[in-house]
Amino acid sequence: MRGSVVERLRRCGRPNCACASDPDARHGGTFLTVSLHGKTQAVHVRPEDEAAIRAAVAAYQRLWTLIDALTACELADLRRGVRERRRSRQRRRA
């Protein structure tokens, strides 16, 4: 799953709550943030779902690390082929 798991502190909105007057008393929560179609969306993560969501985000990051490594290999092969063709043309001319 693409996204980031973040911890946020926020006010609950109740005027009698301590978080209304004390910034250190804000309520914490875990959220999954994902950018889709140019907009960032945040979804509250329940404590019982947090481990599974963190694992899914980590798996996505590992996948992109592998894709980047494969892309680097393919790019190196492409450049090697260009160099070899260039050398063979130079040998034919000489």
Could you report the per-residue pLDDT of 54-92, keeping only the tens digit for each?
A: 999 999 999 999 999 999 999 999 999 999 988 888 877
Question: In this structure, are residues 53 and 60 in contact, taking their beta carbons and an 8 Å threshold?
Answer: no
pTM of the predicted structure, to 2 decimals: 0.72
Could you report the per-residue pLDDT of 13-52, keeping only the tens digit for each?
A: 899 999 988 989 999 999 999 999 999 999 999 999 999 9
Could you report the per-residue pLDDT of 5-18, keeping only the tens digit for each?
A: 999 998 988 999 99
pLDDT of residue 94: 66
- Any residues with CB less than 8 A from the CB of 28 and at least 6 apart, and which? 7, 8, 9
